[in-house]
Amino acid sequence: MSAHSLTYDQMLKAMAFDGEPIRSWQKYKLWIVEDYRVYPWAAIGFNAVLPARLLGALEVAALRVGAQIVYQMAGLAKQFMDDDKLRTLGWWPQLKNGHERDAARHAAYFLIRQRMPLPSLSLGLGEGGSYGCSHGGARGRGNVKRRGT
């Protein structure tokens, strides 16, 4: 499992020039994406359209590589897979920031809902599996995680 944070500009450039990380994602056929909703109370102080644009770029990227996108609401993954559960799984030390933790929460939530085994991160980030993506919220950053198959 691997987690990455991408800005909208990084995603757009990767799409336009067939660059990383899009190039390395081509072999992965399932992306888990944190769905985005505009909440009036949260729209103060950021560009509410930017996350929607990032999701659009992710959808185009998925079409280009033949990947399926599964959307999940942020609150469901965060409530289900709290910090203590990430620590219990042994994932916490390998997740550098909140974006990576949120990406891991989405991977775990999806896998558990599908009754699939949770991968061990003892092999280090970047080992095996299918990609999943999480946009990372209102600041227009994207979390991308890879889950073991």
pLDDT one-digit tens code per residue, 12-33: 788 777 777 777 777 778 888 8
Domain range for 123: 3-147
> CB atoms < 10 A from the CB of 47, how many?
13
Whether the per-residue pLDDT at 38 is higher than 70: the answer is yes
Query: Which of the 8 DSSP states describes residue 120?
Result: P
Task: Assess contact for 142 and 58: CB atoms under 8 A.
Answer: yes
pLDDT one-digit tens code per residue, 100-146: 888 888 888 998 898 888 876 543 333 333 334 444 443 334 444 44
Number of domains in the chain: 1
Q: How many residues does the chain have?
A: 149
pTM for the structure as a whole: 0.70
Query: Per-residue pLDDT averaged across 65-93, rounded?
Result: 89
* Percent of the chain topping pLDDT 70: 72
pLDDT at 44: 60
Task: Assess contact for 93 and 46: CB atoms under 8 A.
Answer: no
Burial 55-89 (b: 16+ CB within 10 A, else e): bebbeebbeebebebeebebeebbeebeeebbeee
